Amino acid sequence: MKKDDDDDYNKKIENGLKKKELEEKYGAHFSEFNESPPEIEGQWLNSIDEFEKQHSNAKTTSVWEYMDKPHYQRTDELKPHEISHELKRLFELMRKNNIVLDTLCKVEDSELYRFITEELFQQEMDDIRIPGMMSCFTYEEFHPNAKLDIEQAIDYFFRMTMGKMENIGGKGYDMLYVDTDHYKDSVGNKIDKQKVVDCINNFFDAFDLFEIVTYDEKTFEINQEETDAKVTFTIHFKGLFENSSETYNYSGDGCFKLNPSEYGGWEMYHIDLPGLIIS
């Protein structure tokens, strides 16, 4: 056996003992399947151990204090052409302190600067510092974007529900963004949850897979209070069977009605899709 093989073997034993220690100390659970090199896995395990040690005694601080209280000006103290430069400076300071702010859609520089200085800087976080560990924030977590959330729900329905992704912990398919508890028909009458689930599962069970040929959005409406939305579209999709050239075509107009979920995002409480009848 070569020396490198000996080192890897010894490192794997060491990692195994480290996992057992972390399981006993913190109740951690590790997958038996791991393709990482033993040295990389060892570094990862050490980072977990260090995080848990610091977390058990961590004090709470604000993002601004975590960054050593950098100087900044209020948005109204800056001229319009100065904001982008100051925003870039703040992003650089955040990066040096392993803090990341992402946006899921375009946000104007002036709004991002205002958000950082008036909201993010006041956000509480644990005072934990581990090399390579990033503290990540997303603008939309503080200011949800209804249109983006609705588009995400529709995309998930087509990719996962219609893609026949199995429901984890239950029978049938993943209906994460379908509000089966408050589902309504086209005139607003409530439909029993089990009936909704059965109708969707039975339709998707009729084929091995689906292929969406075209999807064209016609209208996108959200009420002023952002408590209800309606998306209309035209769609053409195929129901297919594995190892067969036989297909069934479905095409026509469709509609999704959605409302905000208590768990975040938006859910479909009514689905009008060619071929799918829920009643």
Q: What pLDDT does residue 209 have?
A: 95
Judge if 262 and 170 occupy the same domain.
yes
Please tell me the distance from the alpha carbon of residue 228 to that of residue 226, in angstroms, as a whole number. Answer: 6
Same-domain pairing of 265 and 152: yes
Q: What does pTM read for this prediction?
A: 0.72
For residue 237, give every residue at least 6 positions away whose Cβ sits within 8 Å of its Cβ, in sequence order, or none.
162, 210, 211, 212, 213, 249, 250, 251, 274
What value does the CA radius of gyration of the chain take, rounded to a whole number of Å?
Answer: 25
Compute the residue count for the chain: 279
| 188 and 242 assigned to the same domain | yes
Q: Which domain holds residue 72?
A: 60-142
Q: What is the pLDDT along the chain (279 residues), one digit of tens a residue?
A: 455 555 666 676 666 665 666 566 666 666 665 666 767 766 666 666 665 665 566 688 999 999 999 999 999 999 999 999 999 999 999 999 999 999 999 999 999 999 999 999 999 998 878 777 789 999 999 999 999 999 999 999 999 999 999 988 778 999 999 999 999 999 999 999 999 999 999 999 999 999 999 999 999 999 999 999 999 999 999 999 998 889 999 999 999 999 999 988 999 999 999 999 998
Q: Out of 56, 76, 98, pick the residue that ends a domain.
A: 56
Cα–Cα dist 1/67, whole Å: 50
CA distance linking residue 59 with residue 73, whole number of Å: 27
The pLDDT of residue 198: 95
Q: Are residues 117 and 198 in the same domain?
A: no
Exposed, middle or buried: residue 258 (CB in 10 Å: 0-12, 13-18, 19+)? Answer: buried
**One domain, residues 183 and 132:** no
Split into its structural domains, the chain has a count of: 3
> Quick check: is 249 in a domain?
yes
> Is 277 among the domain residues?
no
pLDDT at res. 54 = 59
